[in-house]
């Protein structure tokens, strides 16, 4: 393993994908600060430092409170163009080359913003970022547990026109312990019929039963988090056999206290057991993390070797919703960059 400084630099430069990131939880501080000022300001926020402090997360209720507070400054559909552009700009500086990002358009309906308008501006922003920074992004529509099946179906109608034109799939978010996945089976069945790719948050706040429901009822191709899979050895065996990818977010799980520490996170165990593990950052600004930091934690605190980090970056391509051809060419590109980086840093 190379020296500490070069490990940090190497980790920042390694080619990456991001498969579990919420755009609204990734708005760079400067962008959010500018939005707050544009909307008349907030008396408690006069500097960027104030904003950084305000966003320090204490518990889940506080997280929801902050999420809602932050959303009050997003008042126009066109705000989403800059949000997408700035988020992608920041990610491209960590050599993230491809991401599949969640967005929650329903959250802005009370402010009169339409799902269609938000989606169109996000697509404009991400296309501009692709031209300027080369980073590619596909959107995953967040279906919210608790909003009900009718709203879920409505979300499919609203976003289907953008399928294949920027939107790639659906996810299931919201309160996992209050609202089991089972009632959303018809929404997922219909989404699959229409060509949406399928993932769902499961096995974060609730244990294996929730992951089984995501697989057996919803037919998910990937699991958002799935961190609590280890509580059921049969489930671990199933995930391994079918190589169902887990979108793991280590720092998020520590911040929300699903895990007590980075060291006690099961990612190391899952990797060693041969599960299809990917590395992601969830709501990086709100959890004070970055994708680079996630990989750094794996190297420094969970003893992942450089070769294992390389494998994890390739897993990120294999677990994506890209076509087989798209995956092959991205993996070839990643391999080329890895070879150059290893020649320089090791």
As measured in angstroms, the least distance from the Cβ of 138 to Zn ion is 16
As measured in angstroms, the least distance from the Cβ of 171 to Zn ion is 8
If one asks whether residue 120 binds Zn ion (CB under 5 A), the answer comes out as no
If one asks whether residue 77 binds Zn ion (CB under 5 A), the answer comes out as no
Query: Any idea which residue has 């799935």 for tokens?
Result: 226
- Size of the chain, expressed as the number of residues it contains: 346
Q: Which residue, 77 or 169, is less far from Zn ion as judged by CB?
A: 169
The contacts of residue 264 (CB under 8 Å, 6+ apart) are: none
Q: Which among 152-160, 210-218, 282-290, 304-312 is the span making contact with Zn ion, rule CB under 5 A? A: 282-290
Q: Which residue, 120 or 283, is less far from Zn ion as judged by CB?
A: 283
As measured in angstroms, the least distance from the Cβ of 33 to Zn ion is 24
Stated as kind and residue range, the H or E segment containing 337 is helix 324-345
The catalytic position among 204, 263, 294, 328 is 204
Whether 247 and 225 have beta carbons less than 8 Å apart is answered as: yes
Give, in order, the Cα–Cα distances in Å from 232 to each of 217, 226, 299: 18, 11, 27
Q: Which among 46-54, 187-195, 278-286, 331-339 is the span making contact with Zn ion, rule CB under 5 A? A: 278-286
If one asks whether residue 282 binds Zn ion (CB under 5 A), the answer comes out as yes
Whether 198 and 142 have beta carbons less than 8 Å apart is answered as: no
Whether 163 and 194 have beta carbons less than 8 Å apart is answered as: yes
Known catalytic membership, residue 204: yes
Count of residues that interact with Zn ion, criterion CB under 5 A: 1
Give, in order, the Cα–Cα distances in Å from 36 to each of 30, 51, 79, 263: 10, 10, 12, 37
Q: Which residue, 171 or 299, is less far from Zn ion as judged by CB?
A: 171
Q: Which among 85-93, 114-122, 214-222, 280-288 is the span making contact with Zn ion, rule CB under 5 A? A: 280-288
As measured in angstroms, the least distance from the Cβ of 247 to Zn ion is 8
Rounded to the nearest 10 degrees, what angle do helices 233-242 and 208-216 cross at?
A: 40
If one asks whether residue 100 binds Zn ion (CB under 5 A), the answer comes out as no
Q: Which residues in this chain contact Zn ion in the complex, by CB under 5 A?
A: 282
Which residues are part of the catalytic machinery? 204
């Amino acid at each position: 393993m190379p020296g500490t400084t070069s490990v940090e630099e190497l980790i920042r430069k390694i080619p990456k994908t991001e498969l579990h990131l919420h755009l609204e939880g990734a708005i760079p501080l400067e962008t959010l600060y500018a939005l707050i000022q544009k909307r008349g300001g907030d008396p408690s926020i006069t500097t960027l430092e104030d904003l950084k402090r305000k966003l320090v997360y204490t518990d889940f209720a506080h997280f929801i409170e902050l999420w809602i507070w932050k959303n009050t400054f997003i008042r126009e559909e066109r705000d989403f163009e800059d949000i997408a552009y700035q988020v992608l700009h920041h990610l491209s500086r960590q050599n993230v080359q491809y991401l599949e990002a969640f967005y929650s358009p329903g959250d802005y309906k009370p402010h009169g913003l339409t799902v269609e308008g938000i989606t169109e501006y996000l697509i404009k922003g991400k296309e501009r970022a692709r031209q300027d920074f080369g980073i590619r992004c596909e959107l995953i529509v967040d279906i919210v547990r608790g909003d009900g099946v009718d709203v879920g179906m409505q979300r499919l109608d609203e976003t289907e026109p953008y399928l294949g034109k920027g939107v790639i799939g659906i996810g299931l978010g919201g309160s996992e312990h209050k609202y089991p996945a089972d009632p959303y089976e018809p929404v997922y069945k219909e989404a699959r019929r229409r060509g949406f790719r399928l993932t769902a948050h499961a096995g974060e706040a609730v244990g294996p039963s929730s992951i089984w429901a995501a697989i057996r009822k919803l037919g998910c191709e990937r699991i958002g988090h799935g961190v609590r899979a280890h509580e059921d050895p049969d489930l671990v065996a199933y995930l391994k056999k079918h190589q169902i990818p887990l979108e793991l977010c280590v720092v998020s799980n520590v911040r929300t206290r699903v895990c007590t520490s980075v060291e006690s996170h099961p990612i190391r165990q899952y990797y060693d057991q041969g599960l299809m593990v990917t590395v992601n950052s969830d709501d990086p600004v709100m959890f004070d993390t970055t994708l680079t930091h996630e990989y750094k934690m794996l190297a420094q605190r969970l003893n992942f070797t450089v070769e294992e980090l390389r494998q994890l970056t390739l897993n990120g391509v294999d677990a994506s919703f890209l076509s087989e051809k798209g995956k092959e060419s991205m993996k070839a590109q990643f391999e080329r960059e890895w070879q150059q980086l290893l020649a320089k840093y090791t």
